Structure 1
Amino acid sequence: MGGSSGSDALRDHRRAASEQKKDDVGQALLALSARGTAITISSVAREAGVSREFIHSHPHLHAAVQEAARKARDLWNRDQALATTASARAASADRLTLVSEIQRLRGRLKEQQRCIDELRAQRRRWLGAQFPDLGHVDPAVHAELRSANERLMSEKAGLTNTITDLRRTISALDYDLAAAREALTQELAERDRKRLTPVSLTDE
């Protein structure tokens, strides 16, 4: 009787220890999932303080690890897709901002050029009106024309400098836009590569 009781007690102890290990595996899966840590047979066994063989020897535990790993992989892929979409939207917004700024500056450039052309036309009209008789030039009119010409030339020089600055700014923005497009292309290609070749999350 004593030997039988001892065997029963040992079996009960082993059964209780096994159940505790199973609970520990379940808790390990919850902990790894909460931390976002890669779920593998090894990582679960290490977290639970059990051997890999223990998990392999219990089909329902092995299946639970595989299911948790699949969910983690799906979540990782979803996060990557969301990150790629968010990055693409942000880059698209940046490109739209750059394009809008370039268009605005080009509009200013055209307006400044139109002002220069108008000043040139005014100068020609002024000179034509003030010199109907090329054989006689009034000194007072000549002095007034000289002053007007100097004013127009000063305005033209200022507009020309503005146009030069605008062109330089547009050139820099065009360069930034091209660099942003190249960086986005490389980032999306890298994200696609990682998404299409996910790291294995289970080790059999």
Structure 2
Amino acid sequence: MTAPHTPDAPAASGLVKARQRDVEHRRQRVQQALADMTTDATPISVSSVAARAGVHRSFIHRHPDLHGAVLTAASQALTAPSAASAAISHRSVLAENANLHAQNRRQAQHIRDLEDRLSELLGQQAFQRSGLGAATNTATLQAEIDHQQHTISDLTRALAERDEELAAAREATRRLMTELNRP
């Protein structure tokens, strides 16, 4: 019987060396990301460091020295904030000042608009209460006037017809009385 085929030892050691180089490269990226985040005063957590270094969170958790360094840096950032995080740049102050001025202008314009609207509404209300202005619903009032005028003209015609009938009845009564009074 022949022995089973085993891979070459040099090829296996080449893969191990490549894996070690990859792990070392990722460790350096994590350490660099941690240093950069400490300098920038960026909030530090395992997830944020892993994202910045381009590695998975489990990589940091698998290496106790990296995990400890991240936790130490996070606690130091909480207890003693860096000068970079406490310092306010001149540009940020100018930008904040410009934003506040713009907000004040917008609010002042909004207040003027509201005052104008309130003045208009109070003026209309005073004008209506004084009785000087036209009624607010002139179309309805005009329709009512037209209806009343139509009713008046109908009643005037009916009155004229009754006046004629009354005059005719009086004339008939006079004739009858005249005929009765004749000898």
* TM more than 0.5: no
TM range (shorter): 0.3 to 0.5
Max Rg structure? 2
- Return the TM-score normalized by structure 1: 0.37
- Return the TM-score normalized by structure 2: 0.41
Relative contact order higher in (CA < 8 Å, ≥ 6 apart): 1
Q: Which has the higher helix share?
A: 1
